[in-house]
Amino acid sequence: QKLNTAAKSENPNKCTIEVLQQMLDYYSRSDDHWRTLAYRKAIGALKRHPKKVTSRVQALSIPGVGARLADKIEEIVLTDRLRRLDNAQETVEDKLLQQFRGIYGCGLAQASKWVAQGYRSLTDLRERASLTKNQLIGLERYDDFAKRIPRHEVEAHGALVRQAIQSVDGRVQVIIGGSYRRGSPDSGDVDLLVTEPGSNLQQIRAVVLDTVIPKLFESGYLQVGLQTSRRNGEGSKWQGASKLPGSDVWRRLDLLFVPGEEFGAALLYFTGNDIFNRSLRLLARKKGMCLNQRGLFTDVMRRGPAKVNKGRLLEGRDERRIFELLGVPWRAPEQRNC
Ligand code: DCP
Ligand code: MG
Ligand code: MN
């Protein structure tokens, strides 16, 4: 009688089952269907087992428990918790962070937040997290945006956009920047600098934003606009996604609008890479100048890190001249992969 009630109220493998259940939840949320299934089977079997399982051999004798799970059960019993879970969790969280950072519209802060909040896969995010419109697109097109773009395809995007722009205004030029200009065999996105020697920013923006972009949506080339930034401090950009005719893969497309007198500084900025840019800007500061994507300036007055005035423009139009004025030997774009 006594033995009977004890058996009913308390499963002898209760503690083991609890730990296994935690791992099951974890694997299930990581979309690990194999392990989820194996753990579910083992938990079911343990629940029906009348005696406490304390060793690998005992565990193996239960139908539904394989070798790996038998090891794990023994470990749980011995240590009363699973060291593995802690270690695995750290590396898994690191990988998750990298994965989440690949979502368009998700910075490091957002990615860390999601990991800390317990999201464990892209599916998990899609189903449970509250997402901005751009993050949703970033998730839906995660695989597309993660694919590298071969040089010849970058060129095809450049040609298509150039053709569309020049059919509206033949004087506007389109130059491919980014990793493509640095000679990379493939790129993460397509970076196009749009400029016209004689016109100002408003004119270029008007041609592209009001006329060309609507046309390119209509033609089926552009898929979505993600961000349009107006000029204040950091340039004037359109970001979105496009696909070539006959392709299903969406590519990230960045357009940078540049007035003629800033062409050289903008090209320097848009060619990168970002580390090269940072070191060049740092050097400019050390020499009492200021380099940004609009030009190289001198006589900049600073109060601490804050600028009091913009300074006097030394050069904006000519990329090579900026190197000269900085006292740096010319570096071809291919030599800027820091
Ligand atoms: N850039 C920068 N600082 C940043 C981001 C960008 O200076 N934080 C500049 C340098 C980059 C250029 O803009 O080379 C284009 O940015 P991308 O993010 O498109 O980078 P890349 O074209 O260099 O590489 P990828 O092939 O990954 O697109
Ligand atoms: Mg790029
Ligand atoms: Mn880019």
- pLDDT tens readout for residues 56-112: 888 999 998 999 999 999 988 887 656 656 777 778 888 999 999 999 989 888 999
Pairwise pLDDT comparison (214 vs 112), residue with the higher score: 214
Is 50 exceeded by the pLDDT of residue 229?
Answer: yes
Query: At 148, is the pLDDT very low, low, confident or very high (cuts 50, 70, 90)?
Result: very high
Query: At 305, is the pLDDT very low, low, confident or very high (cuts 50, 70, 90)?
Result: confident
pLDDT of residue 84: 58
Does 179 contact ligand 1 (Cβ within 6 A)? yes
Question: Is 204:256 a contact under the CB 8 Å cutoff?
Answer: no
Atom 14 of ligand 1, nearest CA residue: 272
pLDDT of residue 5: 45
Task: Compute, in angstroms, the gap from residue 335 CA to the centroid of ligand 3.
Answer: 19
Q: What is the mean pLDDT of residues 152-164?
A: 98
pLDDT of residue 78: 82
Is 50 exceeded by the pLDDT of residue 154?
Answer: yes
> Can you tell me the distance from the alpha carbon of 192 to that of 173, in angstroms, rounded to the nearest whole number?
10
3-state SS, residue 298 = strand
Does 272 contact ligand 1 (Cβ within 6 A)? yes
pLDDT in tens, 313-330: 999 999 999 999 999 999
Name the closest ligand to CA 188. Answer: 1
pLDDT in tens, 271-302: 999 999 999 999 999 999 999 999 999 977 77
**How distant, in Å, are the alpha carbons of 44, 105, 172, 181, 301 from that of 77?**
17, 45, 72, 59, 68
Ligand 1 pocket, mutate which of 175, 179, 182, 275 (most atoms under 8 A from CB): 179
pLDDT of residue 233: 47
Is 60 exceeded by the pLDDT of residue 4?
Answer: no
Does 36 contact ligand 1 (Cβ within 6 A)? no
Task: Compute, in angstroms, the gap from residue 64 CA to the centroid of ligand 2.
Answer: 51
pLDDT of residue 3: 46
> Can you tell me the distance from the alpha carbon of 89 to that of 101, in angstroms, rounded to the nearest whole number?
18
pLDDT of residue 186: 98
Percent of the chain at pLDDT > 90 equals 76
Does 274 contact ligand 1 (Cβ within 6 A)? yes
pLDDT of residue 246: 96
Any catalytic annotation for residue 243?
no
Does 28 contact ligand 1 (Cβ within 6 A)? no
Query: At 6, is the pLDDT very low, low, confident or very high (cuts 50, 70, 90)?
Result: very low
- Does the pTM surpass 0.90? The reply is no
- 2, 41, 72, 215: which is the annotated catalytic residue? 72
Task: Compute, in angstroms, the gap from residue 249 CA to the centroid of ligand 1.
Answer: 21
> Can you tell me the distance from the alpha carbon of 137 to that of 146, in angstroms, rounded to the nearest whole number?
13
Is 80 exceeded by the pLDDT of residue 8?
Answer: no
Highest mean pLDDT among 18-22, 25-29, 182-186, 303-307: 182-186
Ion ligand 2 residue ranges (Cβ < 5 Å): 178, 189, 191
Task: Compute, in angstroms, the gap from residue 190 CA to the centroid of ligand 2.
Answer: 6
Atom 16 of ligand 1, nearest CA residue: 178
Pairwise pLDDT comparison (2 vs 19), residue with the higher score: 19
Is 50 exceeded by the pLDDT of residue 235?
Answer: yes
Task: Compute, in angstroms, the gap from residue 188 CA to the centroid of ligand 3.
Answer: 7
Of 111-115, 125-129, 299-303, least confident by mean pLDDT is: 299-303
How would you list the strands of the sheet with 290-292, edge to edge? Answer: 290-292, 295-298, 312-315
pLDDT of residue 9: 61
- Integer distance in angstroms from the first to the last C-alpha of the chain? 77
